[in-house]
Amino acid sequence: MRVLIAEDEELAAERLADLICEAHPGARIAAIADTVEGAVEWLHKGEAIDLAFFDIQLADGASFDIFQQADVPCPVIFATAFDQYLMQAFKVNSIDYLLKPFNLEDVRQAFVKYEQLKRSMRAGAPDVSQLIQALNPVGRGYRQRFVVKTGPHLFSVRASEVACFFTAHKTTWLALAEGGRKFALDFTLEQLEEMLDPTDFFRANRQYIVHAEAVRKATVYSGARLKVELANGEELVVSRERVASFKMWMGG
């Protein structure tokens, strides 16, 4: 059995490789990629693989992007720090997951699930479109949580905890309402607009999306614009063409 690993933390990748080989003595690690780009390049070679272990957050994006750029010819087991809702999304799509931190028994159980999938799917590649859609809540599909990374650690942030999303230095940032901590994201503001509930979030200008509960006050500013102060201390200006919509949004 040939296994592909996509994991951007070197020690985590080595540990996962060791656990895989211990849990399934017949397994051989075909390659380890630490980026979406690296995984895509390897997959484009067309080498045969039987199973893949993908960390969700890689050095240059989310591993879901791999499926948009290359054919993944095998079942995938995701390594994730997502909460229970997102775990259920994986199960709906018949793709197993390893919840970090995981151990040898977790990897063994993942192989049990793989063998079950192989029998039921005749070794066919899973369709991950349902999984990607399931990352959003039921109904309209608004995102309720974001996974952020600090050092080697991943953790989940509720949308309700966010003061704003903004761009700076060609990077999109998530800023918490409490404490003012900021985390880089792999989404553009345009993508976030599609994910977020417009009842709670408003695109104030080209650089900012703000949360209604984080707006401390808004004052009239030059040029018929509004200056907004957020609970975390951030200040921004609502562009002139968005002022009327902002007032209606704030009024509910």
Contact 111, 85 (CB under 8 A): no
- Output the pLDDT for position 129: 45
CATH of the domain spanning 145-250: 2.40.50.1020
Label residue 208 by pLDDT band (50, 70, 90). Answer: very high
Mean pLDDT over 132-149 rounds to 61
Asked whether residue 20 carries a pLDDT value surpassing 80, the answer given is yes
**Tell me: the pLDDT tens digits for 70-121?**
888 888 888 876 544 354 445 433 367 777 778 899 899 889 878 876 666 5
Residue ranges per domain, the chain? 2-134, 145-250
Of 31-40, 58-67, 176-185, 207-216, least confident by mean pLDDT is 58-67
- Output the pLDDT for position 18: 95
State the pTM of this model.
Answer: 0.49
Class of the domain covering 2-134? alpha beta
